[in-house]
Structure 1
Amino acid sequence: MVRHFSTRRLFLGGKNKCAVLNSSLLLGVIFFLLFLLYQRDATTSTSTSDILATPPPRPRIVCVIVTFAYRHEYAAIHIQKTWARHCDHYLFVSDNVHVVLEPAVFQNIWDKWQRIRAHLKYTYMKHFHQGDWFLYANDDNYVFVENLRHMLQSYSPEELIYFGCKLRSSREGLVYMFDGSGIVLSAASLKRFVLEALTDENLCSSQNRGGEAAQELGRCLSNVNVVAGDSRDEWHRHRFLPFETSIHLGGQMNSSIELHRYFLERSYYPVTDMNLPVSLRSICFHLMSMPLAYNLFYFTQNVQIFGAPQEWDSENWGLENQNL
């Protein structure tokens, strides 16, 4: 007898047959699996589009650059033509006017601590709305603003934190930043410094501090719970460097030089073989001569090296070049 196909049985049962499976149930399972696949693809597509549509927020950086009348043409004008233009907003602070730099002018303030107080208060009052982070630098610093922005993406401007080249005083153990290589304050830190520290003599001195201006800034910030952050990279290499590249790349610090000795005695992190490991994502260092600013700007911003990889294997580079 000819066996006809029955929609009640899709497979054989028993020894030679399977249990009966209703065709409508099978179709339901298939449609459900298709639905799950569709949902997965839709979710993946949405997540991917969300990532593409909402990149990490780009920190707005206001650069406050300290200069003086006798250095306008010698130094500051060259900073204005190079790295300063990469800040979201920059302003020079000086003791006299200049037609190109257009600095905010603070005359007859001879003490360094009094200048810092005045500069940061002015920045808060006039430029706070323009930035998330505030770089306080000198006209003999060179700053890779893009690297600074990259570092700051890991932090919120609402955090009470500031960064720089970290020191610790030998007597009190006070943590502060070396003022020769740039100091970066979050918006929240600048606001608290101006509104709470500067207005309370018990928290922040209004007296002249001479050569201890950087220490006093660190003390004031600490007293209003602003944390001195770690600006080194993930391999503990330094991004804020105290001296010029000839010292940090192939050279050594010299303890017979007063400024070097000052740093060596107070460095928050260990110094090995009279030098610091330098990060591939360096942010700030001292310029020995101003023409170097143009060289650095050209070679880092304009030169394209054919055949060079787009991404360095920075972890392996770091392991092989510990002394750089």
Structure 2
Amino acid sequence: MAYANYFNEFDWFVKGDDDSYFIIENLRYMLHQYNPQTAMIIGHKIVDSSTKDGYMSGCGYILSKKALEKFVHQVLDGKCEPGIKGAEDLLVGKCLQEEVLFIDAHDDKYEKQIFPVNIEQNFIENLKDIDKWYVESQWAKFYHGNFSCCSEELVSLHYKKPPEMYLIDYLVYHVHAFGHVGNYNTGLPKKLTFEETLKAANEKSLSIKFVDHHIEHNFDENEIF
């Protein structure tokens, strides 16, 4: 168990499916701006009417150290409806609605960093040809049909079979375009204050399914600094 064996060794804990591919360097880059002592989960945020603040797709999400601690205590204290069956990601979301901040993973241009479906869907121009649930459940604005769909700081992809993972690894780490000089900014992102993190978590969704709820978070003094 991650909490029992590794809690004191790490600041962040990743939950990913066995068909998810993570670019670890970009994951670390994204997490650099956040404080792991603030309870938060970062991932692909899904709009859902049965939750107050949506939930994170189980394709891959990241729990801060504080979020993992709160999750374990919620379970041990019997506050997570033990024995209830259902999708793991939705149940975790319901369990932690008032305990953690849910932050949708996108860069400062609102380009997606974590994909719950095949990334190819984001390059389709006609919305009618994209899975309806995927379009309507997007928390942030849904770009599609061009490169604005997807961040240069891509963190993870979903529904990838082993041969596809080898291909992605090859393209990311082994291919070099001769004569191409990139202008990518290699500086680290600035550290966010608690107020800035709270603002990121409280972004209102543009989804037609979104219903705004007032949430009273159970912060403690160690999270707010």
1:40-79 equivalences in 2 (<5 Å): none
1:273-314: per-residue Cα shift (whole Å, max 9, x none)?
68982111111111343211111111211223332214338x
Residue 91 of structure 2 is aligned to residue 210 of structure 1: no
Q: Which runs of 4+ in 1 moved over 6 A?
A: none
Residue 77 of structure 2 is aligned to residue 200 of structure 1: yes
The answer for unaligned runs of 5 or more in structure 2 is 186-225
After superposition, the Cα gap between the structure-2 partners of 1:311 and 1:229, relative to the gap in structure 1 and judged at 3 Å, is: same
Residue 62 of structure 2 is aligned to residue 190 of structure 1: no
Instruction: In structure 2, give the amino acid aligned to 1:234.
Output: D
After superposition, the Cα gap between the structure-2 partners of 1:171 and 1:162, relative to the gap in structure 1 and judged at 3 Å, is: closer
Q: Which residue of structure 1 lines up, in the alignment, with residue 103 of structure 2? A: 229
**Quick check: 2:26–2:155 contact (8 Å CA) kept in 1?**
yes
Q: Which residue of structure 2 lines up, in the alignment, with residue 262 of structure 1? A: 133
After superposition, the Cα gap between the structure-2 partners of 1:267 and 1:310, relative to the gap in structure 1 and judged at 3 Å, is: closer
Provide TM-score, normalisation by structure 2: 0.72
Q: Which residue of structure 1 lines up, in the alignment, with residue 188 of structure 2? A: none
Report how far residue 252 of structure 1 moved.
Answer: 6.0
Root-mean-square deviation (Å): 2.6
Q: Which residue of structure 2 lines up, in the alignment, with residue 285 of structure 1? A: 157
Instruction: In structure 2, give the amino acid aligned to 1:307.
Output: G
Of structures 1 and 2, the larger Rg is shown by 1
**Quick check: 2:112–2:151 contact (8 Å CA) kept in 1?**
yes
Instruction: In structure 2, give the amino acid aligned to 1:197.
Output: Q
1:240-319 equivalences in 2 (<5 Å): 240-250=114-124, 260-271=131-142, 277-312=149-184
Report how far residue 272 of structure 1 moved.
Answer: 5.0
Q: Which residue of structure 2 lines up, in the alignment, with residue 320 of structure 1? A: none
Question: Of Structure 1 and Structure 2, which has the larger fraction of its residues in helix?
Answer: 1
Q: How many residues align?
A: 185
Q: Which residue of structure 1 lines up, in the alignment, with residue 6 of structure 2? A: 127
| Counterpart pick for 2:28 among 134, 138, 149 | 149
**Quick check: 1:132–1:187 contact (8 Å CA) kept in 2?**
yes
1:1-39: per-residue Cα shift (whole Å, max 9, x none)?
xxxxxxxxxxxxxxxxxxxxxxxxxxxxxxxxxxxxxxx
d(CA) in 2 for partners of 1:271 and 1:177? 16
d(CA) in 2 for partners of 1:159 and 1:298? 36
SS at match of 1:281: coil
Provide TM-score, normalisation by structure 1: 0.52
d(CA) in 1 for partners of 2:115 and 2:3? 26
d(CA) in 1 for partners of 2:2 and 2:51? 30
1:107-122 equivalences in 2 (<5 Å): 122=1
d(CA) in 2 for partners of 1:279 and 1:273? 12
